[in-house]
């Protein structure tokens, strides 16, 4: 209950404006209980904000299949996770917190390079897999921020399928293209 309430508040208010007291109120428990179980707000955040999906499953889904389709599979997987309200809440919470909180930024760095996009880039066999993972992460974090946090229009209202089609070749370029040529080579 505490974890669910904390996850919701972090997503809605961002890290800075979520207080331990507000989490306790939303979970209808005594603030002392939140402090007892989670210690600090940083520890509460890191325990609560986990990926809504198993990273290994996502990596397998994207890597299996034709190499030239990896960008599209990744785009569709990400858009699918963001369609699920629970997934969306956790991911927006993570991105918002990473913008202001060093501990959340460290979590996001680990997720992008070690758990998610790094393994995908490595499995696809391009050079500079960590840089590729970072570039993929920059576009996906930027999408979450623009579409779901800043809610810029029309991007915020466009069908997920249309967003996936616009992003697919970009992610493919970052994963397997020639990054140095200045042109697209998929």
CB of 10 to a second copy, least distance (A): 11
Q: Who's near 72: CB < 8 A, 6+ residues apart?
A: 164, 168, 171, 172
Q: What is the 8-class DSSP label of residue 145?
A: I
Contact status: 114 vs a second copy (CB under 8 A): no
Q: Enumerate residues 126-165 that contact a second copy by CB under 8 A.
A: 128, 130-131, 134-135, 137-143, 145-147, 149-155, 158, 162, 164-165
Residues 55/49, Cβ–Cβ less than 8 Å? no
Contacts of 35 (CB under 8 A, 6+ apart): 20
Residue of 4, 105, 123, 124 interacting with a second copy (CB under 8 A): 105
User: Which residue among 49, 173, 175, 176 contacts a second copy (CB under 8 A)?
Assistant: 173
**Between 123 and 179, whose beta carbon lies closer to a second copy?**
179
DSSP type of residue 114: I
Binding of a second copy at residue 168 (CB under 8 A)?
yes
Task: Give me the helix-helix angle, 31-38 and 41-48, nearest 10°.
Answer: 70
- Scanning residues 82 to 101, which ones bind a second copy (CB under 8 A)? 95-96, 98-100
In the complex with a second copy, the residue whose CB is nearer, 30 or 178, is 178
C-alpha dihedral sign at 148, 152, 156, 158 = negative
**Smallest Cα–Cα separation from 68: which of 178, 172, 181, 184?**
172
- Residues near 178 by Cβ (< 8 Å), separated by ≥ 6? 185
Provide, rounded to whole angstroms, the least separation between the CB of residue 140 and a second copy.
7
If one asks whether residue 62 binds a second copy (CB under 8 A), the answer comes out as no
Enumerate binding residues for a second copy (CB under 8 A): 14-17, 72, 95-96, 98-100, 105, 108-109, 112-113, 128, 130-131, 134-135, 137-143, 145-147, 149-155, 158, 162, 164-166, 168-170, 172-174, 177, 179-184, 186
């Amino acid at each position: 209950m505490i974890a669910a309430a904390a996850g919701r508040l972090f997503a809605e208010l961002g890290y800075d404006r979520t207080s331990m007291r507000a989490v306790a109120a939303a979970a209808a428990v005594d603030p002392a209980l939140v402090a007892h179980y989670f210690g600090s707000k940083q520890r509460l955040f890191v325990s609560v904000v986990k990926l809504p999906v198993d990273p290994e499953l996502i990596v397998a889904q994207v890597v299996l299949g034709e190499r030239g389709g990896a960008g599209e599979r990744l785009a569709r997987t990400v858009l699918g996770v963001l369609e699920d309200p629970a997934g969306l809440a956790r991911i927006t919470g993570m991105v918002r917190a990473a913008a202001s909180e060093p501990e959340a930024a460290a979590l996001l760095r680990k997720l992008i390079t070690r758990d998610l996009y790094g393994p995908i880039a490595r499995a696809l066999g391009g050079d500079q897999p960590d840089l590729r993972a970072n570039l993929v992460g920059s576009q996906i974090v930027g999408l979450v921020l623009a579409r779901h946090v800043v809610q810029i229009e029309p991007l915020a209202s466009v069908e997920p399928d249309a967003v996936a089609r616009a992003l697919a070749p970009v992610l493919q370029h970052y994963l397997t293209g020639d990054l140095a040529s200045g042109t697209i080579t998929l």
